[in-house]
């Protein structure tokens, strides 16, 4: 059955694109996400756990978990150990449970066929003529993470991990086993990509650690890393001991048969009967710090070794990671109350202390301490210091006797925190995967990114996204050189493939973001047209390639001579140009024909597939029902998820004053022209819009939809604008932020022991920004109160990531559109009873819009330019 799905998926997302493309008569072109485009060229899947890229679903605020889990998954030594300890499950064991039931089954059905969509459309009352333009979804909205995630979730497939496979490899259920199950689900998956929803993992997290974890409460990613690693260490050590014990006493009957299963499993894989390695976590992540304390009285230096799994460094404004590490190892004076008890002198003495690294770990996890505690306000705040991190790293603060002091590290993962403060925010991770280069993992959404993207998170006053945890893995100079050469080569070949005609200087010109994984070439600021039918990039590469075919085969000049012919008349004589124009037109036609053919084929395939799919669905009906029940149970988390994220990020918006972007008011049509003044268009667009999203939501389990309806209610529950300050501060936590050199260890220890303490992020406190009151526009909702005065920020867009917004300020009920966030107030989704309300809003928006237009960019720039 999974192979069926594979077939469908390989044909591309047909159903998904139908919901987004314009309603043309002809079949819309297949629209692939950037990730899929990247994976198109990938070699076929093997069972060796490579080449699979999965997003992790966010259940509310589990982004701290998804980002760290992805980083750990792509820490190859760690992943290999997890999969292999205590024993490696076979794909069968993963896909089927012990009772033989198929359990690695996608719960989100595959993309809809056009027939299903058509049916849904026919059922709606309003006319479904979606105009060719959708001015209410601005092109830049389509670029928002929310929108993209929505597309991904719509598309599926999504695997819900609710099972526990621990017994199959002889362990009891624990955080480690859930993580192992998760890794295995990814590695053994028959699909190359998709979304995994690790329900079980968070369930166990909640139950074994503390109830505040794994729920809707925000947590700190580094703290999570710490507690996860410690939990893994504990579990591994315990399991290893058990195995060892059983191994030692072969004849002794064990109480639980599970360990014997483990032994059997181990033996099956013909691992030697040597005791299993229980220290692999330490071997990967652990380093040793030496604190050298020199008593100033007797000049005696005492050393003390302390292990660490990660390093937490304090930050200075405008510095680099190197400098922060050096500061970490700076000399500290122990005096007055901190006097050091010298064994030699036998008393408290003043001393100089410094901490140096004695042994470097294989993987160095650097935690940038961006969250600082302030006594005055009794809360924590975020430091936006600009901390630059190099791609490779060597450490200066090693002891004199350290082995390999020049060990070279290579950056491979960055956890980024986006948000104005520590209490709310979003985590994503940017990871260098061995097969696919740099990828951005944003919960469900995975996107290939450029290397320069990785360097965007140094942190800035104007950018809410800052690097928070850096992962460096050890490497050699040769390996780095190889990597660089390979990158360069890849960039050149990619450039050749994507060779586009040179841009002209006019704006809204051809879309020319040449994104290569090596370096950037052209840069544009104009948004790329996203309508598939109007997407020239699908046409142009064929063009240039075709035209240059006679000249060269593999080594294509990035600016092929004939490509220039199209844009420059001077070097070419007119007859040549006419010729090349003709050729180009022919090519265009050919390309269009090819596309049509492909689309027809796809349609035919779809029909076949839909039949097969129905069969498949029937056979999996039992499974589906059970999963539906389960999903209903977790309906509230899903609902909360939406509200939670809305909450967080709307408040984020409020904190940013928007920059003037008058042009945003003029939505960009896919064909690159400015849209006509809205006027009546807006109103007509508004209404039909309402039906489309609802139909597109059919793909989502009904639980989500009902959750959406519940949204306004739940959001008010979740929203708690009253700033609640923690009444008592846990002194141990305070210590963590004292900035002393010992902080790394105190954190380390705290992390391992004091999990019962109040977590870093206090429940119930959300952004406590003091927001000016807003002219109440039919809003009984907390969020309306959070509108900034000038009304130019649109908090209702609730982009997770919006830095600034120049949408019109808006109104109540339409704010909480969780699904397709970027249809602003005029469009309504879901419950249709809001449509009347929205008509009014449409008009209001229209008028506001036109007002906007008057005071538009022309004025602002002309005043400037007259000077």
Partner 1 sequence: MISGSVLPPPKAYSSAPVTSTNTGNSQILTEAGNSLKHPTGPEFQFHANEGTYVLRDDFQLATPPPHPSEAPTASTNPLSTSIPPLVSGTRLSIIITSDKKAPPVLYNLNTSVPNFSTYSIKEQEESRPSQDTNANSSDVVSQPLSTGSDKKAPAFGSTNVYLNAGNGVKEGAKRKKPKTNMMKTSSSFVSRVVPHEALSRRLNERDPDSMLAFANINRSLQWLDLTSSSYFKSEHLTKILFTKAHMLCHDLNIVTKGSNHLDLVAGSSLADIVWYEPFSVRYNRINKNGMINPSPVIDVKWIPGSENLFLAAHLDGNLIVYDKERDDAVFVPENGLANGFGKIDGDGATMLRINKSINSTNQKTNPVASWKISDQKINSFSFSPDCQHLAVASQDGSLRIIDYLKEKLLDLFRSYYGGLTCVCWSPDGKYVLSGGQDDLITIWSLAERRIVARCPGHTAFVSAVAFDPWRCNQKNYRFGSVGEDGKLLLWDFNYNTLSKPKAVVERLRNSITSSVPLTRHRTDSLQTSRLRSNSSLTTNGTPNSDEVEHPMISRTQTAELPPVMTKTISDDPLCGLSFQEDCIVTSCSVGHVRIWNRPKEGTGEP
- Residues annotated as part of the active site: 63, 426
Interaction with partner 1 in 127-156: which residues (CB under 8 A)? 139-140, 143-145
Interacting residues with partner 1 between 775 and 794 (CB under 8 A) = 790, 792
Nearest to 412 by CA among 460, 360, 475: 475
CB of 803 to partner 1, least distance (A): 5
Is residue 739 involved in binding partner 1 (CB under 8 A)? Answer: no
Q: Which residue has the tokens 């005791």?
A: 275
Q: How far is the CB of 459 from partner 1 (least distance, A)?
A: 9
The DSSP call for residue 699 is G
Q: How many residues does the chain have?
A: 867
CA-CA distance, 490 to 510, in Å (whole number)?
24
Distance CA 134, CA 688 (A): 10
Residue 357 binding partner 1, by CB under 8 A:
no
Among 264, 392, 538, 730, binds partner 1 (CB under 8 A): 392
Give yes or no for residue 721 binding partner 1 (CB under 8 A).
Answer: no
Closest residue by Cα to residue 149 from 428, 449, 448, 444: 444
What residues from 818 to 857 belong to the interface with partner 1 (CB under 8 A)?
Answer: 855, 857
CB 269, min distance to partner 1, A: 39
Work out whether 320 is an interface residue with partner 1 (CB under 8 A): yes
In sequence order, what are the beta bridge partners of 295? 351
**Between 384 and 711, whose beta carbon lies closer to partner 1?**
384
**Shortest gap between Cβ of 469 and partner 1 (angstroms)?**
17
Q: How far apart are CA 588 and CA 582, in angstroms?
A: 10
Residue 92 has which token pair?
């069968």
Answer for which of 76, 345, 524, 616 binds partner 1 (CB under 8 A) is 524
Give the other-Cβ count within 10 Å of 718's Cβ: 22
With binding defined as CB under 8 A, does residue 377 bind partner 1?
A: yes
Count of C-beta atoms within a 10 Å radius of residue 273: 12
Chain positions 541 to 560 lying near partner 1, rule: CB under 8 A, are 552, 554-559
Contact assessment for residue 430 and residue 414, using Cβ atoms and an 8 Å cutoff: yes
Instruction: Give the footprint of partner 1 on residues 753-772 (CB under 8 A).
Output: 767-770
| Smaller CB separation from partner 1, 513 or 834 | 513
Q: How far is the CB of 46 from partner 1 (least distance, A)?
A: 28
Residues in 87-106 that interact with partner 1 by CB under 8 A: none
484 binds partner 1 (CB under 8 A): yes
Q: Does 341 bind partner 1 (CB under 8 A)?
A: no
617 or 803: whose CB is closer to partner 1?
Answer: 803
Binding to partner 1, residues 168-187 (CB under 8 A): none
CB of 57 to partner 1, least distance (A): 18
Residue 663 lies near partner 1 (rule: CB under 8 A): yes
Helix axes 257-268, 221-248, angle to 10 degrees: 90
User: Could you give the 3-state DSSP secondary structure of residue 462?
Assistant: coil
Find the binding residues for partner 1 in span 187-246 (CB under 8 A): none
What are the b/e assignments for 377-407, b being 16+ CB within 10 Å?
eebbebbbbbbebebebebebbbeebeeeeb
Going by the DSSP 8-state scheme, the letter that residue 663 receives in this structure is: G
- In this structure, the number of other CB atoms found within 10 A of the CB of residue 200 comes to 21
Please report where in the chains the tokens 């060779």 appear, as a residue: 499
Binders in 434-453 for partner 1, by CB under 8 A: 440, 442, 447-450, 452-453
Q: Which helix (H) or strand (E) is 345 found in, with range?
A: none
Among residues 386, 494, 632, 853, the one that binds partner 1 under rule CB under 8 A: 386
* Stretch binding partner 1 (CB under 8 A), from 53-61, 68-76, 153-161, 311-319: 311-319
What φ, ψ does residue 681 adopt, rounded to 5°?
A: -55, -40
Q: In angstroms, what is the minimal distance from the CB of 219 to partner 1?
A: 20
Nearer to partner 1, 282 or 853 (CB): 853
- Which positions from 593 through 612 interact with partner 1, judged by CB under 8 A? none
Tell me the closest approach of the beta carbon of residue 233 to partner 1, in angstroms.
30
Task: Looking at residues 32 to 91 of the shown chain, list those that interact with partner 1 (rule: CB under 8 A).
Answer: 34
Angle, vertex CA 48, rays to CA 42 and CA 53, nearest 5? 50
Residue 722 binds partner 1 (CB under 8 A): no
In this chain, which of 1, 45, 323, 620 binds partner 1, going by CB under 8 A?
Answer: 323
Residue 724 lies near partner 1 (rule: CB under 8 A):
no
Beta strands in 95-168, from DSSP E residues, in sequence order: 158-160
Count of chain residues binding partner 1 (CB under 8 A): 128
Candidate residues 199, 384, 471, 711; the one interacting with partner 1 per rule CB under 8 A: 384
> Tokens in use for 56?
């992790």
Q: Which of residues 401-420 bind partner 1 (CB under 8 A)?
A: 405-406, 408, 416, 418, 420
The one among 502, 539, 683, 729 contacting partner 1 by CB under 8 A: 502
DSSP string covering 178-212, please? Answer: HHHHHHHHHHT-SSSEEEEE-HHHHHHHHHHT-TT
Residue 579 near partner 1 by CB under 8 A: no
Q: Does 358 bind partner 1 (CB under 8 A)?
A: no
Q: How far is CA 766 from the centre of its chain?
A: 22
Q: How far apart are CA 209 and CA 759, in angstroms?
A: 11
Structure tokens that stand for 27 in this block:
């079949």
Rounded distance between C-alpha atoms, residue 439 and residue 429, angstroms:
8
- At its nearest, how many Å lie between partner 1 and the CB of residue 668? 8
Task: Please state the separation of Cα 248 from the chain's center in Å.
Answer: 46
């Amino acid at each position: 059955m999974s192979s069926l799905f594979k077939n469908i998926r390989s044909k591309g997302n047909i159903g998904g694109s139908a919901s987004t493309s314009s309603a043309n008569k002809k079949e819309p072109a297949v629209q692939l996400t950037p990730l899929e485009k990247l994976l198109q060229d990938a070699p076929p899947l093997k069972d060796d756990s490579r080449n699979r890229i999965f997003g992790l679903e966010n259940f509310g605020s589990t982004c701290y978990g998804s980002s760290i889990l992805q980083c750990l998954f792509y820490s190859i030594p760690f992943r290999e150990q997890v999969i292999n300890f205590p024993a490696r499950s076979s794909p069968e064991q993963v896909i089927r449970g012990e009772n033989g039931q198929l359990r690695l089954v996608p719960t989100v059905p595959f993309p809809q066929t056009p027939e299903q969509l058509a049916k849904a459309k026919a059922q709606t009352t309003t006319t479904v003529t979606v105009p060719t333009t959708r001015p209410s979804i601005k092109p830049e909205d389509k670029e928002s993470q929310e929108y993209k995630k929505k597309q991904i979730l719509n598309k599926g497939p999504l695997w819900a991990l609710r099972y526990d496979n621990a017994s199959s490899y002889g362990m009891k259920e624990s955080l480690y086993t859930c993580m192992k199950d998760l890794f295995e689900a990814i590695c053994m998956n028959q699909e190359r990509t998709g979304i995994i929803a690790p329900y079980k993992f968070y369930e166990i997290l909640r139950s074994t650690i503390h109830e505040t974890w794994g729920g809707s409460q925000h947590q700190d990613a580094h703290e999570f890393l710490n507690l996860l690693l410690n939990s893994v260490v504990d579990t591994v050590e315990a399991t290893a001991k058990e195995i060892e014990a059983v191994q030692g006493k072969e004849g002794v009957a064990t109480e639980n048969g599970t360990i014997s299963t483990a032994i059997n499993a181990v033996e099956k894989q013909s691992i030697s009967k040597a005791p299993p390695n229980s220290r692999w976590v330490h071997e990967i992540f652990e380093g040793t710090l030496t604190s050298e304390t020199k008593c100033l009285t007797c000049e005696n230096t005492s050393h003390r070794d302390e292990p660490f799994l990660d390093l937490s460094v304090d930050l200075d404004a405008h510095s680099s990671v190197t400098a922060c590490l050096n500061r970490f190892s700076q000399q500290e004076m122990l005096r007055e109350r901190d006097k050091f008890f010298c064994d030699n002198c036998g008393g408290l003495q003043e001393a100089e202390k410094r901490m140096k690294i004695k042994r470097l770990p294989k993987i160095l996890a650097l935690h940038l301490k961006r969250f600082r505690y302030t006594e005055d306000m009794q809360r924590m705040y975020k430091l936006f210091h600009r901390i630059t991190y190099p791609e490779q790293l060597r450490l200066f603060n090693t002891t004199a006797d350290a082995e390999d002091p020049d060990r070279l590290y290579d950056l491979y993962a960055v956890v980024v925190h986006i948000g104005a403060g520590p209490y709310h925010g979003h985590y994503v991770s940017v990871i260098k995967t061995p097969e696919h280069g740099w990828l951005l993992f944003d919960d469900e959404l995975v996107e290939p990114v450029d290397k320069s993207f990785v360097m965007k998170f140094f942190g800035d006053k104007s950018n809410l996204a800052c690097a928070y945890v850096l992962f460096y893995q050890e490497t050699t100079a040769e390996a780095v050189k190889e990597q660089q050469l390979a990158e360069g080569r890849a960039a050149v070949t990619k450039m050749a493939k994507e060779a586009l005609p040179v841009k002209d200087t006019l704006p809204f010109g051809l879309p020319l973001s040449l994104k290569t994984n090596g370096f950037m070439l052209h840069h544009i600021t104009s948004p790329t047209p996203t309508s598939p039918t109007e997407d020239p990039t699908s046409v142009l590469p064929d063009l240039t390639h075709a035209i240059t075919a006679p000249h060269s085969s593999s080594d294509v000049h990035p600016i092929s001579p004939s490509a220039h012919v199209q844009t420059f008349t001077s070097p070419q004589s007119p007859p040549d140009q006419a010729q090349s124009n003709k050729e180009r037109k022919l090519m265009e036609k050919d390309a269009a024909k090819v596309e049509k053919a492909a689309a027809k084929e796809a349609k035919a395939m779809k029909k076949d597939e839909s039949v097969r799919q129905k069969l498949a669905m029937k056979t999996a009906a039992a499974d589906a029902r059970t999963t539906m029940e389960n999903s209903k149970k977790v309906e509230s988390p899903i609902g909360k998820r939406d509200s939670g994220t809305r909450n967080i990020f709307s408040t984020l918006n409020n904190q940013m004053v928007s920059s003037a972007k008058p042009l945003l008011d003029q939505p960009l049509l896919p064909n690159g022209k400015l849209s006509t003044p809205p006027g009546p268009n807006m109103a007509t667009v508004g209404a039909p819009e309402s039906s489309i999203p609802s139909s597109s939501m059919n793909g989502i389990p009904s639980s989500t939809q009902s959750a959406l309806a519940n949204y306004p209610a739940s959001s008010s529950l979740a929203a708690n604008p009253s700033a609640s300050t923690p009444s008592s501060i846990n002194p141990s936590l305070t210590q963590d932020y004292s900035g002393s050199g010992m902080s790394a260890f105190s954190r380390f220890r705290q992390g391992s022991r004091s999990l019962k303490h109040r977590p870093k992020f206090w429940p119930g406190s959300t952004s406590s920004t003091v927001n000016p009151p807003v002219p109440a526009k039919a809003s009984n909702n907390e969020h309306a109160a959070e509108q900034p005065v000038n009304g130019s920020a649109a908090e209702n867009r609730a982009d997770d990531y919006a830095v600034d917004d120049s949408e019109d300020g808006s109104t109540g009920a339409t704010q909480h559109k969780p699904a397709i966030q970027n249809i602003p107030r005029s469009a309504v989704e879901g419950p249709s009873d809001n449509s009347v309300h929205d008509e009014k809003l449409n008009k209001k928006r229209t008028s506001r819009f036109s007002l906007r237009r008057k005071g538009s960019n022309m004025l602002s720039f002309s005043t400037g330019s007259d000077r």
